[in-house]
């Protein structure tokens, strides 16, 4: 058994390895800049598909879904 709770993830934007810190508000990204970059990239696609604006809650929900997909094996 390994007692460490540290999880290493790759930043989805720049692919840099980083420690997945539950207290980090921009996880799984390495920095706020990378998070913004990714959000802009995929939310722009969402706008085109749905043709409507997404609220902050929607964005957070989408983020949760993405994380579930990444973590669920």
Under the rule (CB under 5 A), what is the footprint of Zn ion? 11, 13-14, 16, 30, 34
Nearer to Zn ion among residue 9 and residue 13 (C-beta): 13
Residue 18 phi/psi, 5-degree rounding, is: -150, 160
Strands (DSSP E) contained in 1-73 are 8-10, 17-19
> Least distance from C-beta 29 to Zn ion, angstroms?
5
> Least distance from C-beta 57 to Zn ion, angstroms?
25
Nearer to Zn ion among residue 37 and residue 58 (C-beta): 37
| Two tokens, residue 70 | 């990444």
């Amino acid at each position: 058994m390994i007692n460490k709770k540290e999880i290493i993830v790759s930043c989805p934007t720049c692919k840099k390895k980083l420690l997945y810190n539950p207290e980090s508000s921009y996880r799984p990204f390495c920095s706020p800049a990378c998070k913004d970059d990714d959000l802009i990239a995929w939310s722009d696609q969402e706008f085109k598909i749905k043709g409507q604006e997404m609220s902050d809650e929607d964005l957070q929900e989408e983020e949760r879904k993405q994380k579930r997909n990444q973590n669920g094996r």
